[in-house]
Amino acid sequence: MKLKGLFLVGILLICSIFAASTIELTVWTHEDPNRTLLEDRYIEEFQKLHPEVSIKRVTYPSAKIRETVLTAFSAGKGPDIFNMEVQDEYPYIVNQRVAPVNPIAMGYKNVEEIYDAYLEGTLNPVSYQGKLYGVPLEITNWCIFVNKRYTNALGMDFDNNYPKTWEALMEIADQLTVRNGEIITRRGFDFRYPYYLTFFIPMVEQLGGYLLNEDGTEAIINEKAWIDVLTFMKEWGPSGRNLGSPTYTAARKNWNKDDGSIVMCESGLYQILRLKSENPDLFHSDDWMIIPWPTFENAVNPVKGNYYGHYYMVNAQSSSEKQEWAWKLIAYMLQHTNEYFEQVGLIQPTYELMDSAVFKEFPFANVFMNDMSQAGCVLLHQAGPRLEELIREAVESVMLSGVSPENAVKTLKSKATEVLEDY
Amino acid sequence: MRSGIEKKKARWGWFFVLPAIAYFSIFSFYPIANAFHTSLYRWNLLSLNPPRFVWFENYLRLFQSEVFWNSVKATAIFTVGTFVSLLIGSLALSILIFSRKRFRSFFQMALYSPAVLSTVVAATIWLLILDPRGLGNTWMNALMGTSGKDYQWFANPDMSRISTILIYFWKYIGHFTILFIAGLSSIPNTILEAATIDGAGSWKKYWRITFPLLKPTVVLVCVLSLIQCMKSFSTQYLFVQSGAPKAPIDVLTLNIYNTAIRDHQIGRASAISVILFLTLILFSWAQLKLGRSEEVSFQ
């Protein structure tokens, strides 16, 4: 009886020691079915290599992950690893909620070696006060996806003469748009509302305007540029030439369906592989192409649409042991750069990928990279989401509520100045 | 001096209400007290620095904020629009259904069915209907004898307000109609029969007997629907997500969400919550007080 008891105690002790030595990592990321297939496999492989590590990967809709991560962090229960759009991750860096990258755990000699592995500038968004806080899962910029069935039908030869300016795009979109009275049944092109920091700000910058001055103390620089772009948007909306509106279904969602409701939309390279899985007939046809992001005819600054990224980050409140394993897992997943690109269409901007045949031979990859070389990163500021909301109000007020661009800019400037006072 | 039996009864009384007190303390009173406490701090949700005690600065900032007053206006318009239409609509429908001998259960069920849908599902269905190419424009064009007119259900500021009111009306009309039907059922038939014998017509009976006796139900419906309307969030949230201009439908709850989740200012968001809470308490108290001024008795 005594022996039996001792045996049981021994078993329990072994179990508790074993349980204590297991590292549990939680990974929160946004939904992407193609990527889930890959990362589930990587995690399985990693767990086989390191049986002492147990990983729980949870996905959330892109629109939901921002608030889920925020509420978890504010309660001190954030995941060990997460990724979001970099403008949403930036406050986590500034508030020291994420840990600096551990180069040794990632298999690099030092941080400089990580910088050397990635295209110049692509780690800048996650570099803060001399430290690096994340590594890119994907960097995205937008170009224009074109369904040539509709352009060809109107005798437009996009292969040799595609619209290079916003003004030309507006004219062509007008010809391609089909309406039933005031109701648009087919849009020639429409913007990607409400991501105004990604597409609207570069349009303003093309005309010489800026959202903030250099030291970030003043907002809405060069009001004329803002008024000109808002005038363009007013002309685009229902009260102008009625070419599109934020209230129609997102253009990129319908583009893959080829259902006759949209001819051109803005999207990233990842959309190509989504097209492949959602509409293989269109994907394998010659009926689509991707053209560079336009500039205004009188652009003084020929920038392209801003790029944004999703960076993997590690919770600074996780134990140092967990942090180390977290960076090891991230490094393990990201060593499959080519597969991420081939299977999901995600650009991890490493020199290794850029120099690979896979990338060079991928359809339209050069269009995206040419534009990327002239693109800036989306605004990184603690007030970024608030400023984007104000820009949204301004654009929608001229497009939908009949406010004049001059008044919209005046209101925007006053509200943006008030917001900046909070930071 | 209370007797031993009374004391014992009181102890048992406490024993039975204790679970409810514990429940409300944890899930209602504590969050309310905590929200008030938080509202006195300048508190960034993400910051590791301790929150700074600022007394009533958050409230003062709100009262000077254009966005806050716009939210008050948006909430007032939505609440009045929904509350009044719900009250009148549900009362009228309840009288209509109550007067029916056949299909009464069917009508009740049909009217109530939207209430069992989550607000998100209801709003999503309506988003499809109100899409520029959706059924909303088709129906309105047929009804108004127009062709290809876009009624801009989301795009136009006034229309987006009307659309949110319409969705809420559709979703909750059944719920309040059932409450009124329950109220109508509780009015003793003998009183109405006596009135008939005395020569009262249908309108007189409704006006002089049914309506006054229905007063407790009216108060109940008023309080419930007012609270429901002022707490509305999902419909406005989904509308904004779908491209509708925010300002006309930026109700207080949406403002709380944006202040906390987008701006990370939990102190200021709590201050708006406290203001909303106090407003609800004030309105509910006023309605109950008015309702009690003429107590109804069937004896």
Chain B residue numbers touching A238 (CB-CB < 8 A): 150, 152, 155
| A265: closest CA of chain B, how far (Å) | 17
Asked if the Cβ–Cβ distance from A397 to B245 is below 8 Å, we say yes
Domain assignment of residue A29, yes or no: yes
B262 touches chain A (CB under 8 A): yes
DSSP characters over A103-116? TTTTT-SSHHHHHH
Whether B244 and A247 lie within 8 Å, measured CB to CB: yes
CA distance A143 to A375: 11
Minimal C-alpha gap between A249 and chain B (Å) = 8
- Residue A153 and residue A301 share a domain: yes
Give the pLDDT score at A292: 98
Answer yes or no: do A329 and A219 share one domain. Answer: no
Whether A7 is covered by a domain: the verdict is no
Q: What is the pLDDT of residue A34?
A: 86
Q: Same domain for A192 and A311? A: no
Number of Cβ atoms within 10 Å of the Cβ of B281: 11
| A30 and A147 housed in the same domain | no
3-state secondary structure of B72: helix
Give a yes or no: residue A290 inside a domain: yes
Over range A61-72, report the average pLDDT: 90
Q: Which residues of B touch A193 (CB under 8 A)?
A: 243
> What is the pLDDT at residue B294?
55
A265 and A410 assigned to the same domain: yes
pLDDT digits (tens, 9 = 90+) for A32-41: 888 999 999 9
Q: Are residues A192 and A254 in the same domain?
A: yes
Mean pLDDT score across all residues of chain A = 93
Structure confidence at residue A391 (pLDDT): 96
CA distance A128 to A380: 11
Residues of A in contact with B261 (CB under 8 A): 66-67, 70-71
Please give the C-alpha separations between residue A18 and each of A11, A48, A155, A329, in angstroms, as whole numbers.
Answer: 10, 16, 71, 21
Q: Is residue A1 part of a domain?
A: no
Mind listing the pLDDT tens digit for each residue in A287-344?
Answer: 999 999 999 999 999 999 999 999 999 999 999 999 999 999 999 999 999 999 999 8
Q: Which amino acid is at A173?
A: A
| Touching A: B residues 164-223, CB under 8 Å | none
Asked if residues A365 and A269 have their Cβ atoms less than 8 Å apart, the reply is yes
Give the distance from residue B81's alpha carbon to the nearest chain A alpha carbon, in angstroms.
Answer: 21
pLDDT value of residue A2: 58
Domain count, chain A: 2
Is A308 in contact with A384 (CB distance < 8 Å)?
A: no
User: Any chain A CB within 8 A of the CB of B57?
Assistant: no
Contact residues on chain B for A179, CB-CB shorter than 8 A: 148
Give the per-residue pLDDT at A295.
97
> Which domain CATH number covers A253?
3.40.190.10
Higher pLDDT, A314 or A18: A314
pLDDT value, residue A252: 92
B120, B138, B263, B270: best mutation site toward chain A, by most A Cβ within 10 Å? B263
Whether the ipTM is more than 0.85: the answer is: no
User: Which among A67, A71, A238 has CB closest to B150?
Assistant: A238
Domain ranges of chain B: 51-292
Give the residue-averaged pLDDT of A250-271.
94
Same domain? A199 vs A102: no
Residue A287 within a domain:
yes
In a domain, A11, yes or no: no
**Nearest CA distance, A385 vs chain B (angstrom):** 6
Residues A294 and A346 in one domain: no
Structure tokens at A160: 């040799």
The reply to whether A246 and A330 lie within a common domain is no
Q: Diameter of chain B by CA atoms? A: 81
From the list B143, B142, B167, B170, the residue with the least C-alpha distance to B153 is: B167
Sheet holding A262-267, edge to edge: A178-180, A183-190, A262-267, A143-147, A288-291
Place of tokens 């509302």: A193
Token pair for B281: 């308490």
B50 touches chain A (CB under 8 A): no
* Partner-chain contact A249 B266, CB within 8 Å: no
Whole-angstrom Cα distance, residue A304 to residue A26? 37
Within a domain: A414: yes
For residue A258, the surrounding DSSP H or E stretch is none
Say whether domain B51-292 belongs to CATH 1.10.3720.10. yes
DSSP state, B206? Answer: I
Question: Do A185 and A129 share a structural domain?
Answer: no
pLDDT at A21: 62
Domain containing A56 equals 21-140+307-372
C-alpha–C-alpha distance, residues A194 and A389, integer Å: 9
Is the model's pLDDT at A4 over the cut of 80? no
Position B116 scores a pLDDT of 84
Q: Are residues A71 and A174 in the same domain?
A: no
* pLDDT (mean) for A350-371: 93
pLDDT at B111: 85
Give how far A327 is from chain B: nearest CA, Å: 22
**Nearest residue, CB atoms, B132 vs list A184, A193, A393:** A184
Indicate whether A291 and A339 sit together in one domain.
no
Per-residue pLDDT tens, chain B, 299 aa: give them.
566 888 888 888 899 999 999 999 999 899 999 999 999 999 999 999 999 999 999 999 999 998 999 999 999 999 999 999 999 999 999 999 988 878 888 888 888 888 888 877 888 888 889 988 899 999 999 999 998 899 999 888 899 999 999 999 999 999 999 999 999 998 888 988 898 898 888 888 888 888 888 988 998 899 889 998 999 999 999 999 888 889 999 999 999 999 999 889 999 999 999 999 999 999 989 888 877 655 555 55
For residue A238, give the nearest of B155, B244, B263 by CB distance.
B155
Among A71, A95, A181, the residue with its CB nearest the CB of B148 is A181
Q: What per-residue confidence (pLDDT) applies to A58?
A: 97
pLDDT > 70? residue A182: yes
Residues near A393 by Cβ (< 8 Å), separated by ≥ 6?
A411, A412, A415, B245, B246, B247
Residue A15 maps to a domain: no
Whether the bond between A194 and the residue before it is cis, its omega within 30 degrees of 0, is yes
pLDDT digits (tens, 9 = 90+) for A117-136: 999 999 999 999 999 999 99
Looking at the complex, report in whole angstroms how far the Cα of residue B128 sits from the nearest Cα belonging to chain A: 10
- pLDDT interval class at A211 (50, 70, 90): very high
Query: φ, ψ for residue A23 (rounded to 5)?
Result: -95, 125
